[in-house]
Amino acid sequence: MPIQQVSLYQLLERMLNEGLPFVASCMEKQLKRPIIIADAIGRIHYPDEPGTVTSLDDSFLQIPSGLKEDEYSYDETNQILYYYIGQQRAGAYIVLKNLLPSMLPQALSVCNSEIKLAIKYYFSNLDKMRESQTAFKKELAEYLLFKSNANIRDIIKLSHKELDLNKPYLVTITEADQAGSEIDWEFICSHTSQHLKRISLEIIPIPWTNCMLAIFPASFKKDTLEIDPEWSRQIYINSFKFKDIIGNISDQTISIGIGRIYPLSDLHKSYFEARIAITLARLLGKTSFVQNFDELGIFSLFFSENIDVLKNYCQKNLEKLIDQDKKTDSELVFTLRQFMDHGFNRKLTADSLFVHINTVHYRIAKIEQILELDLSQTENRLNLFAAVKTYDCLRMNGFLD
């Protein structure tokens, strides 16, 4: 239906019923060419064509900066028109490719018609919904990270039916391996959400300080109503793909930790496990990895215990060394850590510490004396290795003073 024959009321009413494609199709009929509609950060909202996870950048446009409302930019070289409407986060771009200069006046007249108001209305409502979603995600993230006093039922009310108390979930954490990296995690969340939606994998992505939290609602097998193992496998496989894609976008190496599946009321446990998975993998020298908590071997059993049990275990095995270091600044715990990380090789440990090997001999003897054990015995080595890695993991995640 030509735009001239559609009143603003009709445009708005049919847009509410049929969505953005109706408004866009009206414009395409008038211009006799396809259009693209993108939001303020360049994410394409129309057309919403199926895509694959490897074509992540296809969901976004490189858009000109500095345009104000009702301003346009015309790229003569590539014959592309960018027309900007709305303001800030509620803004949107109408984009026409392969537009000859002679067609520019007609295109601008269409952009200035009632259709502009309909698109502006659509993105304004979208921005209001986004603000509501931001509040919901902030509450949910704080519930996971800080075990806030918020009631999960109150958070569900904010979720616009994204959360279901009767459904299990798992949490993943995506981080850059480099400390202090300046990645736009909100932008990464938009990428991730868009493409996982296209492969029918539900996700609630949350941008947070130096990371992206992702909450995945479980998918069930239709015949048995059991959790579909293919669902968790898809998360694992796509984590490898997204790790590499996000790394290429940000020019950083990226790692992902994956927790186990829990009912919504225990979701903080999945977050804790994802955090332990990513921390422990790094302590074991890994970078650019995808680490399932379930695949941490003996540490999966360790960190399934109550935190107080783990603290007592570390205290029992390391407290004397820690106290000695505090009294004399002797770096015994640090030396023990290096000794383990270098395969209990004294020469490699000395090289890593930049000290004479006799210094390492002395410190190892001192450690054995204080702990009253023999570090040449495999049993003692294994026990202390587990204690040190558990201690470091707890300390790095704020569970120790």
What's the average model confidence in pLDDT over 272-301? Answer: 95
Q: Give the Cα separation of 324 and 57 in Å (integer).
A: 54
Q: Is the pLDDT of residue 193 over 50?
A: yes
One domain, residues 298 and 314: no
One domain, residues 57 and 75: yes
Global pTM reads: 0.76
- Quick one: pLDDT band at residue 395, thresholds 50, 70, 90? very high
- Quick one: pLDDT band at residue 139, thresholds 50, 70, 90? confident
pLDDT at 55: 46
Number of helices and strands in the chain (H, E): 14, 11
pLDDT at 159: 63
One domain, residues 184 and 284: yes
Where does a domain end: 274, 302, 330? Answer: 302
Q: Is residue 344 part of a domain?
A: yes
What 8-state DSSP symbol labels residue 34? -
One domain, residues 285 and 330: no
Where does a domain end: 126, 150, 179? Answer: 126
Q: Is residue 201 part of a domain?
A: yes
What's the average model confidence in pLDDT over 21-48? Answer: 86
Q: Is residue 333 part of a domain?
A: yes
Q: Which residue has the higher pLDDT, 1 or 20?
A: 20
Q: Is the pLDDT of residue 125 over 50?
A: yes
One domain, residues 115 and 22: yes
Q: Is residue 122 part of a domain?
A: yes
What's the average model confidence in pLDDT over 18-45? Answer: 86
Three-state DSSP at 295 gives: helix
Q: Give the Cα separation of 93 and 149 in Å (integer).
A: 41
Q: Is the pLDDT of residue 219 over 70?
A: yes
- Looking at every residue in the chain, the average pLDDT score rounds to 86
Q: What percent of the chain has pLDDT over 90?
A: 49
CATH code for the domain of 273:
3.30.70.270
One domain, residues 98 and 175: no
One domain, residues 290 and 313: no
What's the average model confidence in pLDDT over 54-79? Answer: 79
Per the structure, the count of domains in the chain is 3
Residue 389: Cβ-neighbour burial (10 angstroms; 0-12, 13-18, 19+): buried
pLDDT tens column, 327-360: 998 899 999 999 999 999 999 999 999 999 999 9
One domain, residues 273 and 189: yes
pLDDT at 51: 45
One domain, residues 82 and 196: no
Provide the residue range defining the domain that includes 185. Answer: 164-302
Q: Is the pLDDT of residue 130 over 70?
A: no
Where does a domain end: 243, 267, 302? Answer: 302
What's the average model confidence in pLDDT over 135-149? Answer: 74
What's the average model confidence in pLDDT over 312-316? Answer: 95
Q: Is residue 273 part of a domain?
A: yes
One domain, residues 174 and 298: yes
Render 340-357 in DSSP notation, one character per residue. HHTTT-HHHHHHHHTS-H
One domain, residues 177 and 89: no
Q: Is residue 136 part of a domain?
A: no
Q: Which residue has the higher pLDDT, 198 or 349?
A: 349
CATH code for the domain of 112:
3.30.450.40
One domain, residues 364 and 255: no
